[in-house]
Structure formats: structure tokens, C-alpha cells
Amino acid sequence: MTSVKELRVSEDLVAAPMGKQPYLAFPTTRDVLRKYFRLVLRASASLAFISAITFVLTRAIPVNPTTAGFLYLVAVLLTATKGGLVESTISSVAAMLCFNYFFFPPVGTFTIAEPQNWVALFAFLATSLTASQLSARVKRRAQEAEERRGEVERLYALSRALLLIDTSQPSANQIVQQIVQTCEIPEVALYLRGTGELHRAGLEDKDIESRLHESAVRSAMLKDEETNLVITPVRLGGEPIGTLAFRGATYSDAALQSLLNLVAIALERANSQNTVMKAEVARQSEELKSTLLDAIAHEFKTPLTSIKAVTTDLLSASPSRLQHCDQELISIADESADRLSKLVTDAIQLARIEGGTFKLNLGVHFPASLVKSALRQMKPVIEERKIDVQVPEFLPPVRVDAGLIQVVLTHLLDNALRYSPPANSIIICSRLADDKVIIYLVDQGQGIKPEEQAQIFEKFYRGKNERHLQGTGMGLAIAREIMRAHGEDIELTSAPGKGSEFSFGLPIAPGSTAQ
């Protein structure tokens, strides 16, 4: 969907500035008429000047033909320095004719008797025409230089104006406004290829939008001589990012290219500032989320710490201090505190992972020590269970976030402990693959039905027949997300009645060779 944004420009901006030569503007019919009128006036003035000189030289102060020739030459030079090529050429020819008529014998006719006077006359004509040409060329150069200076000044003013664009507001609209104001181009339109937006000041043509679009797609410049419309693609690094159209101004190719570059840079600058701003907002929001989660963890864990300190202290005292009944009650409180603590830890871990606020703290670790650390963390839970660890020490070191891999291991182990009978052992073993060490966790529980296998990694999913078992339903979801953050995944092989096998790969640290 293309959005069209209209920009109303005040009258004083559209009107050509008074008092300044509107050299950038295309000439109107009135301008052309005025120009021709001035030319005729100047030509007449130069003719009058030559006539006046002729009158003085023939009637007031009679001189010889040589002096007259030099004085005519001075008159032609004066005309050439003051006027343009047309006036100086007219006065050259007029002076030549007068010189011939009034000074070369036979005087009073256009005929020339002596051949050497032909030479003198043509030398005079050639000199005066050359002087006219040279003078006119100098004048034209000066005018061109003046025009270039004007263009550079305007482009400089535009570059400054574009730097001061308010980046919190849509930038394309402001760019159009600045071109209208600073470059004094009355009608401007800017089409952005990325968003399809069209911003314009004036340029109400019906088909302007499709023509802008066409120019952007074809990356080609369109010049409409009839309507004085210029449509040119705005490129950044060779890639068209939009189109600029304007009417009512002429620019040299170099100035137009600079104008387009300025627009491209301004658009790109606004774009990257926007990206930076978005990233900053996202970072701040992540930081806030992280701080909030830390605060929640602290608030929940502090009372739990008091409860745990009391229950564990009482339970660790020699049994004689407590009645059997008291011991049972305190154990219940202790286990409940553990369960609550695990719930809080899991919920916060999940929130952190889902909120994208966790970052991998990659380090180089031995697989065997990762497994051992996880087992040590689980010590109170696994004391009465048979865990068979077959992860050799000589496996190459892996590059992982040790803390998070321990979380994965504890969740998988917790899952295996929960869903397999206490008498059956759990096996943790490993295999060396090409560029990773694969860790397997095998239980001899009742297995998982094929239709449930995909679901068990979903949040809060609990096995249909195991609803009575305690658990947060978050462990496997957390474990899978952590492995995915490492670029790995957790594989499950399971058959009902035969137990389950969870496995995941740990990427071998670069530079360490598999032994």
C-alpha cells in the first residue's frame, strides 16, 4: 500500500525570490519576451553609439581614415566589454560599413577603389569580431562561474539543513521541505522505494507517483522537456533507494549529482539513527526485564533461605532432639521449601530465556567435569539412586556455557529420576562425534509414547499418566532452549516400556584435538 503525504508549501516559498536573478528557474514566456526586448534595445544602443562616433568623426572633428579606423575599433571593444556577443557583432559590422562608406575613397559609396583598402577593411573586421568573441566568452565564463558558486552555496546550505533534521520526526518529509526552502525549487517530490512512501511539495501531476516508481525500479533518469520535469533515482552505493522529482529548476549535472548524494546520505543517516534508537530501546527494555527478574528472584528466595536454614538445621540435629513426628513434619516443610525454590528458579530461568535476556557465557570445559558438577548439585536428590556415569576424563574440552549446560543436565537428570522406578539405574554416557561430544542420559522408566514425544518439550506439559508426580513442567522446555542457544538440540529416543534416551551435543572447543 502506498501512502501519499502531501506537503503544503507557503506561497512565499514557491514564488521566485524577488531581487535575485532566478537563474535556477526555467524561463517563462514573459521572461523570454523580456530577454528579446532587452537584446533589441542593446543592439539599437550599440548602433546608435557607432552612428554617434561616425557623426563626430565626419562632421565635428574630421580625421584621416587611419585615426577613424582605430577610433571605430575602440568603440567596438567598448561595446563588447559592456554588451554581449550579438551587440558587439552588430557594432563590428556597422563600424566596418561606416568606415567603408565615410572614409575609404571613393567617399560616400560602398565601393573601394584601392585593393590595399580591402585588406585594411577586412583586417578591421577580423580584429573587431575577434575582440567581440573574446570579450563575450570572458563574460559567459564569469556568468557560469557565478552560477556554479550559487549552486555550491545552495548545496552547502542544504547539507547543513539536512544535518539539522529532527530525527525523531519522519525525515523524508523534512528533506523535501529543506530542498524547497534552501534550493528554491518550487515543486519537489521524494519517493522512498523501501516503504513506498511519497512526500511532495507541489507536483500535483496525476501520474507522478507511477513515474517516480518507474524511475526507482529502472534506476534511470527521466527528463520531460515539455513540462520541465526532472525525475532522477537516488542511489546509495549503486542501489536505488528512492526517486527525486522536481520542476522549475535547472542544475548542472555535477550539482544535481551532489544534491542526490546529499538526499541519499540524509535518508541513510535518518535510517541508521532510527535503527540505533530501536536497538537502544530494546537494550533498555532487556536490562529492565533482567533487573526485574533479579529482584523477583531475590524477593522469593530470601524468605525461602530462612525456611531452609531452619528446617535443615533441625533435621541435621541428632535425632534424639526431635520426636519422630516432628521430624516427619519438618521434612515436609523442608521438601516443600525445596520444591518452591525449584519452581521459582525454573520460572525465572524460563522467563529469562523467553525474554531473551540471557547471554551465553562461553568457556572451555571438560565434559566429565560438567557432568560431575551437575551431579554434585543434585547430590541430595540422587543419594539413594543408582547413577552410572560413563563419561571418560580424556574427552576433548568443549566450548559451552558451563552454568547453563549444568542446568540442562540437572533438568534431564531430574526428569529421569522422576519418571523411572527408584530401583532402576540411570546411565550417563558419552560418544565422540566429528566436532562434538554427545552426552546420553538413559533411564529405564516406562518410556514415552510416540504421540507424546514432541509434546514433552512444551512448557507445562506433564505426562498423561504422571500428573500425580511433582514437577514444574518447565525443565525440558528450559533444557531444549539452552541447547538451541548453543546451536544444538536435544534428541529423544523412547519406546513405551523400554525407557527413554535423551542426548545432546557439546561442540568441541576450537584448537583442541579429539584424542
Partner 1 sequence: MSGGRVLVIDDDPQIRRVMRSTLTAHGYQVNDARSGEEGLQELRNSSYNLVLLDMNMPGMGGMETCRLIRASSEIAIIMLTVNNTERQKVDALDAGADDYITKPFSTPELLARIRASLRRMPQLPGGADLQPLMAHGVNINLSSREITVRDRTSRLTAREFGLLTYFLARPNKTISHRELLQAVWGPDYGDELEYLRVFVNRLRKKIEPEPSKPIFLVTDAWAGYRFHLPK
The contact set with partner 1 (CB under 8 A) reads 294, 297-298, 301-310, 312-313, 316, 337, 341, 361, 363, 365-366, 369, 372-373, 376, 397, 401-403
Instruction: Give the phi and the psi of residue 16 in degrees, each rounded to 5.
Output: -65, 140
Which of residues 109 and 390 has its CB atom nearest to partner 1 in the complex? 390
CB of 318 to partner 1, least distance (A): 13
Contact call for residues 90 and 46 (beta carbons, < 8 A): yes
Which of residues 261 and 512 has its CB atom nearest to partner 1 in the complex? 512
d(CA 249, CA 187): 9
Strand partners, 5: 199
CB of 333 to partner 1, least distance (A): 12
CA pseudo-torsion sign 354, 360, 361, 364 = positive
DSSP H helices in 56-201: 65-82, 85-103, 115-163, 171-182
CB of 252 to partner 1, least distance (A): 60
Q: Which candidate, 138, 125, 145, places its Cα nearest to that of 81?
A: 138
State the SS3 of 404-435: HHHHHHHHHHHHHHHCCCCCCCEEEEEEECCC
Which of residues 261 and 341 has its CB atom nearest to partner 1 in the complex? 341
Which of residues 397 and 471 has its CB atom nearest to partner 1 in the complex? 397
CB of 422 to partner 1, least distance (A): 22
3 state SS of 199? strand
- The DSSP code for 264 is H
Which of residues 62 and 363 has its CB atom nearest to partner 1 in the complex? 363
Which of residues 247 and 365 has its CB atom nearest to partner 1 in the complex? 365
CB of 307 to partner 1, least distance (A): 7
Q: Which candidate, 364, 495, 374, places its Cα nearest to that of 437?
A: 364
CB of 373 to partner 1, least distance (A): 5
d(CA 17, CA 350): 66
Cis upstream peptide for 106 (omega within 30°):
yes
CB of 426 to partner 1, least distance (A): 20
d(CA 140, CA 143): 5
CB of 410 to partner 1, least distance (A): 11
Which of residues 356 and 403 has its CB atom nearest to partner 1 in the complex? 403
Kindly compute the dihedral angle of the four CA atoms of residues 25, 29, 32, 37, in this order, to the nearest 10 degrees.
Answer: -140
C-alpha grid cell, residue 345: 528458579
- The DSSP code for 495 is E
Which of residues 13 and 368 has its CB atom nearest to partner 1 in the complex? 368
Which of residues 278 and 376 has its CB atom nearest to partner 1 in the complex? 376
d(CA 73, CA 454): 104
Torsion-angle region of 9 (φ positive above 0: left; ψ -120 to 50: alpha; else: beta): beta
CB of 280 to partner 1, least distance (A): 23
